Chain A
Amino acid sequence: MTTAPTDSILAADIGSVTTRAVMLDIVGGEFRFVGLGESRSTVEAPFASLSEGLRHAIEQLSATTGRNFMDEHEQLIMPAKNDGTGVGAFTATTSAGQPLRVALAGLMPNVSLASAERVATTSYVKVVEVIGLGDRRREDQQLDSLLNTKPEVVILAGGTERGSSSAVLRLAETVALAAALLPEGERPVVLFVGNTAIRDKVSALFNGVCDVVIANNVRPDLDAEDTGPAARQLARLYEQLRLAQISGHGELTQWRGGNLIPAANAFGSLIRFFSQTDSAKGALGIDLGSAATVVAAAAGGDLSLTVRSDIGVGHSAANVVHGVPIERMMRWLPEGFSEDEVRDYCYNKSFNPAAIPHETRELMIEHALARQCLQGAVNAARQNWPPRAKTIRPGLLPAFQTLVATGAVLSRAPKPGQAALMLLDGLQPTGCTTILLDQHGLASALGAAAAVNPIAAVQVIKTALATLATTLSLVGDVRPGQTVARVKMAPIGGGDTVEINVAYGSLQMLRIPPDREAKVAIQPFNGFDAGFGPGVSQTVTIPASLAGLIVDARGRPLALPKAPAKRLAAVTEWLNDVGEYGG
């Protein structure tokens, strides 16, 4: 449904911790972000209703904007009235539901199962079981495991278009047997994404047992992968099986006349838009949430979405510290922090995900946790970069032109350098990247708004996302201390020109006067690549930003000094110079 060009939009985003109501309306002939209302999310007990928190957020929005959006029955007024009450359109996104419990069943671990896993990572999912030919368990052991884990969805893959059918059917029989043994209300939905030649046989196997949903073969050929249709089916299943069950969902659908959209998908839409409008280098989006982290990568309109439902800085904090050696978090902290303190903090944070750091000490632990979340999410996304996203070197993050970052731990970082440093350390971007920070938590809402009014979204994005920094991440190898580039930055319209020699291993933040663009001349040495080719010099214009230009010559991949004293000294220097902690 596309609204009339002049319709105002109320876009809601219901997160695990916070619910936001955002008002977009025409101001001075263009759509603008007009106001924001926030409330604690009420999806969980004791409220167990998403509309409760949304009403509170809308009340706050009313107080902020001076406009009334609800009628005497606490229903949204739609369409907008001549007296200024109500709105023209309403959209809603959420990341607040429980992840779906999904089992993967496929043939080869590095073929159909790998593709099934990539499909699973596109939605809010917890993989509870994996069954394949490489599985050493007997069939009855696999059966018992399915019965114990009780998946809600089984993604059944396997067989290229001219390939195996009997092995896939045997696998399907095991799944059908497990489904038949489960009580009727606990049987999974089977999403079949294998050899199309056996679709009818697979459907017949599950006939009378459980529902089967079909999507394109994720592996039509050994060398070809097509996960898009399967991912879309999985997203629909998530909406049907999870979102539709949340109390208050029915009411929202009436307001909007459609479904509640998973926030990850809406966020992905926004990133795809950036990739279509902003050069061939593509865009990367990071949504670092309390319960889940989303990586959306797009180039030339191709989007890859990775959702890690087990990584986050609040509800999922315990998972993060449980899943990696504690040293991986400790390396981001200066002296004076113990492993027990950091571990206890993360576990306690998962009980009270909304709690915020009162003191700098806790802020630093939280930011170390954020770095670990970013690394974990990007590692999961590595298998899935869009084909047109180009890397400077294999294994590194592609040299995305634009990075859109959202999540309260980033947007509420006290200093812009802290947010920039978390992103630099966690993601390790390469080349020249403009980082946009979603300071108001609008990204998913804007992605959803784009579906009803693309013009509104385009116009609002220009002003709603703050430019955090431009980062110049140099790629190459030399000994530490050697000069790898010369960078000269001249603010446009006046201001001091800064010229620096960049030493390998260094990290420098160059401030630009507020609201000023700058011309930056980059001259790499020793074959270093600034994103334009090894040794290729370039002059670019960078936008005005909160943190200015950050030149990162610490190496890619980022290798911290091995000696503990040197590592501590380096990390402390970066935290002080760029992060300005305690300053």
Chain B
Amino acid sequence: MYFPTSTHILPLVNIRCERLLPHAGYVVTHEGARVDAGDVVAKTEAGGRHYIFDLARRLQVSPAQADKYVRAKPGMALEKGDTLALRRTLLGLSRLSMRSPAKGTVIEVGNGRLLYEAAGAVFELRAGLSGIVVDVIPEHGVTIETTGAVVQGVWGTGRQDFGLIKVLETDAHAPIPAEALDSSARGSIVVGHQADVALLRKAELNKVRGLILGSMPAALLSMMRMLSFPVLVTEGFGRRPMSELAWGLLAGNNGREAFVDARPADRWNGRRPEVIIPLPSASSALPAPAGGQPLKNGQRVRVLRAPYLGAVGKVKHMPPRAQYLPSGVLALVAHVEQDDHTAITVPLANLEILD
């Protein structure tokens, strides 16, 4: 039995999406609540920087003596400029003091040193998609359930955002011309086949909320990571169009709200970069995306490597014995009938289940 990876490109399924804070905070919604994409579901303070003050040196006393000049106690919240420690000298005519550099909290005092934690910026976690809160993870976030379409990708720049899909219909075998993206794309999740430096710059300039592409050259990785919006790639690195299946699903939902989770794949928890498009469903009994299936005859598959990269078809037969490939490598293979009914032979290792 062979267990290939699976990529989900599904028009309508039941979806559970976990929305978590980067670190502990508090949840502001409750189980059963209906949320929209822009609703805040949890808050935290981004980790503030720490300061270690050498009070003894500042106050010109020994470490043992310094503690008695401390005015702020552990746990005390302070504003910027508040007095942390104060020593009057020369019969009170002179003052040596230490003031808080920013709003924050005293953590620890002792041995002539003071540890201060500046308050971090408040981080608000938005739902990102409309749905029902089905689970609250205390101090960390929520699980939102919805029905809708899912398009999984292979790589993302790490950010998350939501907006309305805007499909740019251009030549699938070339980067989107920069002039195709104008100010009307502001706030959108732009969908296209390929992009280049000019298009990325234009997208940044026009403040898009996200970019979903079929492929990108790996040479542009550094630039993509610096963009202020998430970039999600469905097929991989190089220069090739988005698959017909993914394109059809995204183009068919042009104008609809989508949540782009472009966090890179995590092989340990199975997370993949993905686009979720909430859609209404009359049925409450929709399936959830399945994983961990063995490869079987009749299964719909996609080819992951040259020379049939991106080809989609059905497994017809898997010979029990390994065969020699043109490269000379010996491997177990599958005979696959493509959608146009032509037959190809592909190593099992180069197939993924498409569902």
Determine whether B201 belongs to the interface, using a CB cutoff of 8 Å to chain A: no
Determine whether B230 belongs to the interface, using a CB cutoff of 8 Å to chain A: no
CA distance A100 to B4 in the complex (A): 27
Which chain B positions have C-beta within 8 A of A47? 3, 292
Interface-central residue, A39, A138, A181, by most chain B CB under 10 Å: A181
Question: Is the beta-carbon distance between A355 and B219 smaller than 8 angstroms?
Answer: no
Question: Is the beta-carbon distance between B331 and A356 smaller than 8 angstroms?
Answer: yes
- Which of A112-120, A359-367, A513-521 sits within the interface? A359-367
Question: Is the beta-carbon distance between A356 and B217 smaller than 8 angstroms?
Answer: no
Which chain A positions have C-beta within 8 A of B218? 321, 340, 343-344, 346-347
Which chain A positions have C-beta within 8 A of B338? none
CA distance A178 to B331 in the complex (A): 51
Question: Is the beta-carbon distance between B327 and A354 smaller than 8 angstroms?
Answer: no
- Which of A68-76, A143-151, A375-383, A489-497 sits within the interface? A143-151
Question: Is the beta-carbon distance between A351 and B327 smaller than 8 angstroms?
Answer: no
Taking CB atoms and an 8 Å cut-off, the chain A residues in 116-166 that contact chain B are 138-140, 143-144, 147-148
Closest to A322 in B: B221
Which chain A positions have C-beta within 8 A of B324? 414
Closest to A53 in B: B3
Distance in Å: Cβ of B160 to nearest Cβ of chain A? 19
Question: Is the beta-carbon distance between B267 and A358 smaller than 8 angstroms?
Answer: no
Question: Is the beta-carbon distance between A348 and B236 smaller than 8 angstroms?
Answer: yes
Q: Which of A39, A139, A140, A358 contacts B305 (CB 8 A)?
A: A358
Question: Is the beta-carbon distance between B347 and A356 smaller than 8 angstroms?
Answer: yes
Taking CB atoms and an 8 Å cut-off, the chain B residues in 175-222 that contact chain A are 217-219, 221
Determine whether A56 belongs to the interface, using a CB cutoff of 8 Å to chain B: yes
Instruction: Classify chain B: how many residues form its interface, as a range.
Output: 35 or more
Which chain B positions have C-beta within 8 A of A321? 218
Determine whether B95 belongs to the interface, using a CB cutoff of 8 Å to chain A: no
Determine whether B350 belongs to the interface, using a CB cutoff of 8 Å to chain A: yes
Q: Given A315-B267, A344-B218, A344-B237, is A359 in contact with B326 using a C-beta cutoff of 8 Å? A: yes
Which chain B positions have C-beta within 8 A of A341? 238
Distance in Å: Cβ of B86 to nearest Cβ of chain A? 21
CA distance A77 to B51 in the complex (A): 60
Closest to A351 in B: B154
Determine whether A84 belongs to the interface, using a CB cutoff of 8 Å to chain B: no
Instruction: Classify chain A: how many residues form its interface, as a range.
Output: 35 or more
Q: Which of A46, A344, A356, A362 contacts B349 (CB 8 A)?
A: A356
CA distance A243 to B327 in the complex (A): 36
Question: Is the beta-carbon distance between B292 and A183 smaller than 8 angstroms?
Answer: no
Distance in Å: Cβ of B167 to nearest Cβ of chain A? 25
Which chain A positions have C-beta within 8 A of B236? 344, 347-348, 351
CA distance A427 to B24 in the complex (A): 47
Determine whether A177 belongs to the interface, using a CB cutoff of 8 Å to chain B: yes
CA distance A354 to B267 in the complex (A): 13
Closest to A363 in B: B327
CA distance A47 to B324 in the complex (A): 30
Question: Is the beta-carbon distance between A414 and B328 smaller than 8 angstroms?
Answer: yes
Question: Is the beta-carbon distance between A351 and B155 smaller than 8 angstroms?
Answer: yes
Pairs across A and B, CB under 8 Å, 6 listed: A44-B267, A45-B267, A343-B218, A347-B236, A352-B305, A358-B346
Question: Is the beta-carbon distance between A139 and B52 smaller than 8 angstroms?
Answer: yes
Determine whether B47 belongs to the interface, using a CB cutoff of 8 Å to chain A: yes
Determine whether A40 belongs to the interface, using a CB cutoff of 8 Å to chain B: yes
Interface contacts beyond A358-B306, A362-B306: sample of 5 additional A-B pairs, CB < 8 Å, sorted by A? A42-B3, A46-B270, A147-B50, A340-B217, A351-B265
Question: Is the beta-carbon distance between A44 and B350 smaller than 8 angstroms?
Answer: no
Rank and list the top 9 A-B pairs by shortest CB-CB distance, nearest first.
A45-B270, A414-B328, A46-B291, A46-B292, A344-B237, A363-B327, A344-B238, A140-B52, A44-B267
> Total number of A-B contacts with CB less than 8 angstroms?
135
Determine whether A462 belongs to the interface, using a CB cutoff of 8 Å to chain B: no
Q: Which of B115, B326, B331, B346 contacts A360 (CB 8 A)?
A: B326
Which chain B positions have C-beta within 8 A of A143? 50, 52
Which chain B positions have C-beta within 8 A of A183? 24
Question: Is the beta-carbon distance between A343 and B326 smaller than 8 angstroms?
Answer: no
Distance in Å: Cβ of B224 to nearest Cβ of chain A? 12
Return the CB mask of B314-337 against A: 1 if under 8 Å, else 0.
000000000011111111000000
Which chain B positions have C-beta within 8 A of A140? 49-52
Which chain B positions have C-beta within 8 A of A181? 50, 107
Determine whether A325 belongs to the interface, using a CB cutoff of 8 Å to chain B: no
Which chain B positions have C-beta within 8 A of A39? 1, 3
Distance in Å: Cβ of A469 to nearest Cβ of chain B? 18
Determine whether A486 belongs to the interface, using a CB cutoff of 8 Å to chain B: no
Question: Is the beta-carbon distance between A98 and B2 smaller than 8 angstroms?
Answer: no
Question: Is the beta-carbon distance between B2 and A48 smaller than 8 angstroms?
Answer: no
Determine whether A394 belongs to the interface, using a CB cutoff of 8 Å to chain B: no
Question: Is the beta-carbon distance between B268 and A355 smaller than 8 angstroms?
Answer: no
Determine whether A67 belongs to the interface, using a CB cutoff of 8 Å to chain B: no
Taking CB atoms and an 8 Å cut-off, the chain B residues in 23-74 that contact chain A are 24, 47, 49-52
Which chain B positions have C-beta within 8 A of A44? 267-268, 270
Distance in Å: Cβ of B188 to nearest Cβ of chain A? 27
Q: Given A39-B1, A358-B306, is A144 in contact with B325 using a C-beta cutoff of 8 Å? A: no
Determine whether B269 belongs to the interface, using a CB cutoff of 8 Å to chain A: yes
Determine whether B5 belongs to the interface, using a CB cutoff of 8 Å to chain A: yes
Which chain A positions have C-beta within 8 A of B115? 177
Which chain B positions have C-beta within 8 A of A361? 306
Distance in Å: Cβ of A572 to nearest Cβ of chain B? 18
CA distance A357 to B268 in the complex (A): 25
Determine whether A412 belongs to the interface, using a CB cutoff of 8 Å to chain B: yes
Question: Is the beta-carbon distance between B270 and A355 smaller than 8 angstroms?
Answer: no
Determine whether B92 belongs to the interface, using a CB cutoff of 8 Å to chain A: no
Which chain B positions have C-beta within 8 A of A352? 5, 304-305, 350, 352
CA distance A92 to B4 in the complex (A): 24
Closest to A43 in B: B268
Which chain B positions have C-beta within 8 A of A148? 47
Which chain B positions have C-beta within 8 A of A415? 328
Question: Is the beta-carbon distance between A360 and B328 smaller than 8 angstroms?
Answer: yes
Distance in Å: Cβ of B237 to nearest Cβ of chain A? 4
Closest to B3 in A: A40
CA distance A330 to B188 in the complex (A): 40
Distance in Å: Cβ of A31 to nearest Cβ of chain B? 27
Distance in Å: Cβ of A371 to nearest Cβ of chain B? 17
Q: Given A45-B267, A45-B269, A340-B219, is A414 in contact with B327 using a C-beta cutoff of 8 Å? A: yes
Q: Given A177-B115, A356-B349, A414-B329, is A40 in contact with B2 using a C-beta cutoff of 8 Å? A: yes
Determine whether B307 belongs to the interface, using a CB cutoff of 8 Å to chain A: yes
CA distance A264 to B346 in the complex (A): 33
Q: Given A40-B3, A348-B237, is A363 in contact with B329 using a C-beta cutoff of 8 Å? A: yes
Distance in Å: Cβ of A187 to nearest Cβ of chain B? 14
Which chain A positions have C-beta within 8 A of B304? 352, 355
Closest to B346 in A: A358
Which chain A positions have C-beta within 8 A of B265? 351
CA distance A72 to B110 in the complex (A): 64
CA distance A339 to B305 in the complex (A): 18
Q: Which of B51, B237, B268 contacts A347 (CB 8 A)?
A: B237
Which chain A positions have C-beta within 8 A of B331? 356
Taking CB atoms and an 8 Å cut-off, the chain A residues in 493-536 that contact chain B are none
CA distance A370 to B343 in the complex (A): 32
Distance in Å: Cβ of A66 to nearest Cβ of chain B? 16
Closest to A343 in B: B218
CA distance A45 to B265 in the complex (A): 11
Distance in Å: Cβ of B16 to nearest Cβ of chain A? 14
CA distance A361 to B306 in the complex (A): 10
CA distance A354 to B304 in the complex (A): 10
Which chain A positions have C-beta within 8 A of B347? 355-356, 358
Distance in Å: Cβ of B242 to nearest Cβ of chain A? 15
Which chain A positions have C-beta within 8 A of B5? 352
Question: Is the beta-carbon distance between B1 and A354 smaller than 8 angstroms?
Answer: no
Closest to A44 in B: B267
Closest to A41 in B: B3
Distance in Å: Cβ of A582 to nearest Cβ of chain B? 8
